Amino acid sequence: MASLTAGNRRPVRLADIAKAAGVSHGTASNVFSRPEIVREEVRERVRAAAEAMGYGGPDPKGRLLRAGKVNAIGVATAEPLSYFFDDPFARVMMAGISQACDATGAGISLVSAANNEQLAWNIQSALVDGFIVFCIEGGSRLVELARERKLPFVALDLDSEDGSVAAIGVDNIAGAGVAARHLTDLGHRRFAVMALPFADNRTGLVSAEQVRAATYAGTRDRLTGYFRELSRVGVDISKVPVYETANDVASTKAGLEIIFASDTPPTAILAMSDRIALVALDWLSARGLSVPDDVSIVGFDGVPEAAVSEPPLTTIAQPIAEMGRLAVRAILESNGPVSRHQLPVELIVRASSASPRD
């Protein structure tokens, strides 16, 4: 009566119960997969044998090999697994992915590890029909690993400039342009950019050279979008500080510290993610600066949290859930040519942006 639940040894296979029931393994298999084609008497005999021997039904491990399809898609990141449940952007994305998977009956496998080696192994050994790759930090490495599996996969965020990988993303240049335009229209002329990573494991003020060498095309594109608009209204972009964060609290605060140490601090902040923008909101309020009276902020992403911050955040909303849904469909119907989708973004004006005071 001790450990019945937990599986001790369980060497009971379909073949065992077939023998016990006195039928061939072919028939035994049919009892489980197409019960209607086997005579009732035999069916019951086999079922009884299964019951008696504690057989838990055909082992999916065995079936899998023959069937070929796992019926699950893998979602990969180079972050700890908890990223999927902690990060607002990831959560909305996963909600979209979930919807599409529910609709088709596919399962979801979370394939992820912060550790490089572990990550490689996890991707190599993931039992999935395809991958959806979150191209955040470590994206290029991840895409490479996924590609090596030779399974269908799609990259989220058109970070990759490599046209041979399927990808789903937004027009970062245009989106950033709209964000900047919103602020220039309000009359702002003194800006700072709080950027996403241009390359792995680095933070700090960024030189034009570093931008050119960016690993992450998406980050560079957003900056291009910002600068294009700022130039248009005559702002000297070489004077606009660009601080590269790791999209986390610590580096963002460090960046703000530096930027607001200036004699002529910005009246407007262009944040490349809502995450950064929300941290900035906190930091500014702690610092006694009012948003939007002293400083305006525009974020990027459109996560739900941005709608309920204090003050609510003006941002460039991506159709995050829709991107997730599209990604699943791209995997499951992966035929035809490599699909690259570019979805529209939308400026959502809330209370974090207003005309500058002076």
Site residues, a copy of itself (CB under 8 A): 2-7, 10, 54-57, 60-65, 68, 70-72, 80-82, 84-86, 91-92, 94-95, 98-99, 101-102, 105, 107-111, 113-114, 118, 121-122, 124-127, 147-153, 164-166, 334-338
Quote the least distance from Cβ 121 to DNA, whole Å: 12
- 146 lies in the binding site for DNA (CB under 7 A): no
- 33 lies in the binding site for DNA (CB under 7 A): yes
Q: What is the dihedral sign for C-alpha 226, 195, 165, 88? A: negative
337 binds, among a copy of itself, DNA, none (CB under 5 to 8 A by kind): a copy of itself
- 212 lies in the binding site for DNA (CB under 7 A): no
CB closer to a copy of itself out of 101 and 217? 101
CB closer to a copy of itself out of 114 and 351? 114
- 308 lies in the binding site for DNA (CB under 7 A): no
| Site map 273..292 versus DNA, x via CB under 7 A | --------------------
- 65 lies in the binding site for DNA (CB under 7 A): yes
CB closer to DNA out of 42 and 348? 42
